[in-house]
Amino acid sequence: MIKASKWVTDNFYLLLSIASLIACRFPGVPFIPIIIIFVAMYAPVLLSKKVCLTNTGSIILFLLGGYIVLSLITYLIDSIPLSIFVNGLYCYVFPVIFFFLALHFSDEEIEKFRKVTFYGLMLAYVIGMYLYFAEPEWYMTWKTSKLEGLFEDRTENYLTAYRFFTSYFTHPYFVGYTAIWVVSYLCSKISKAEKFPILLFVMLIITIFAEFLTQQRASAVIVVAILFWYTFKEIKKRKFRITYIVFLAVLLVSYYIIKYYDELEMLLTRYMTILDGTILNDGREEQWHLVYKNFDNYIFGEGFNSVGHYAMNYGLPVIADGEFYKDFYEYGIVGCLLLYSFFFKTIWIAFRKRKFYEIELPVVIGFIAIKYGANPFEMTNIIPLYWFSAGVLWRT
């Protein structure tokens, strides 16, 4: 059973992509919960390894332990509904398994995990692209039902006016945010390959186009930054590879915009907010002001997972976008010091060893930056990419 749990954990994103497609085609098939259960079963094995008794493991266990204890205290003091507390542990603690996975892995195992993860995510992008343009009846029926659960009366806008590319994961966050890791991985591989890698070249074009169609502005900015960073390095070395891809991607996106301009007017208007600066707030200020009118406990916060989408079902305050604000409201000064000390230390390690860990650097910076306008760390199927990258950095 332990070997099976490890195998499922090692191949998490490939299995998740396949299981999500099956669940999409045959709703009600419980493959995804089974995958999560198997991964969770491997957690005690990782925590029992000697690697967790090293200085690095001790620091992380202290931070994670403090995080959970503080969460439990706030739950008991503030009488937060039990289901909110349990949901929070699942959303935030489950992905940390991937940190310990990377911490325990050898260099060969890390590379294997990266490769399988890449295959899994590319499978989601390629099949998702077909479903996006072909729009088979079964897929649209399933997608509509899922979006109705998320957006209720706004479902029609998301299906027709906005035309977000979601692959078969119901929400554009999955493609938009995982593309940060994929682009970083591909750029690193392409720049280091001895011969010009045609297949990786095609995969990068597909990923960039998929990112563009998701309309996820923050992740798009990070992806563009990664591409231009590699382009800048290539210009210095006079070895042009990523430069060609950037040029072709611009041509492809430009052609698509010209050909479907009327349909894309909403999309272009959305991306223009990056240039005019409204992306930074974009209506979120009202959420933040309303929530903080009820905020009194600056030291320990108002309670673990007590504000957000899930808390809304209990009539509690809502911060739909902006995890930095959400963290401070829930954990206060003490909790944020515990959490952010880990974040800043990880970024410092990434910068210090960026020559060796160029795949991880954009991921650990990008996901932290996105916290300003979204809640990536409660997205259980996406955020393991951050924790795995952080584990790779901390193991050295």
Mean pLDDT of the chain: 80
44 versus 77: the higher-pLDDT residue is 44
pLDDT tops 80 at residue 158: no
Total residues belonging to the chain:
396
Residue 339 to residue 1: CA distance in whole angstroms? 33
77 versus 213: the higher-pLDDT residue is 213
pLDDT of 131: 93
278 versus 225: the higher-pLDDT residue is 225
Mean pLDDT of 51-72: 62
Residue 236 to residue 158: CA distance in whole angstroms? 43
Count of other CB atoms within 10 angstroms of residue 86: 12
pLDDT of 154: 66
Q: Roughly what angle, to the nearest 10 degrees, separates helices 384-394 and 360-370?
A: 130
pTM of the model: 0.87
pLDDT of 201: 84
Mean pLDDT of 44-55: 65
Mean pLDDT of 163-189: 90
pLDDT tops 70 at residue 146: yes
Residue 219 to residue 229: CA distance in whole angstroms? 15
Specify whether the CB–CB gap between 295 and 329 falls below 8 A: yes
CA angle 319, 271, 199 (to 5 degrees): 105
CA distances from 253 to 162, 216, 228, 256, 366 (A): 17, 15, 16, 5, 23
Residue 25 to residue 128: CA distance in whole angstroms? 12
Residue 396 to residue 387: CA distance in whole angstroms? 15
388 versus 313: the higher-pLDDT residue is 388
Residue range 272-298, pLDDT digits in tens = 666 666 666 666 676 777 777 777 777
pLDDT tops 60 at residue 54: no
78 versus 323: the higher-pLDDT residue is 323
pLDDT of 37: 86
pLDDT of 78: 60
Residue range 87-114, pLDDT digits in tens = 777 788 889 889 888 888 888 999 999 9
Residue range 305-349, pLDDT digits in tens = 777 777 777 777 777 677 888 888 888 888 788 788 888 888 888
pLDDT tops 90 at residue 15: yes
**pLDDT classification of 49: cutoffs 50, 70, 90:** low
Q: Is 303 exposed, middle or buried, given 0-12, 13-18 or 19+ CB atoms closer than 10 A?
A: buried
CA nearest 11: which of 19, 172, 186? 19
Residue 149 to residue 155: CA distance in whole angstroms? 9
CA nearest 82: which of 295, 305, 301, 297? 305
Mean pLDDT of 127-140: 91
pLDDT tops 70 at residue 265: no
Specify whether the CB–CB gap between 188 and 358 falls below 8 A: yes
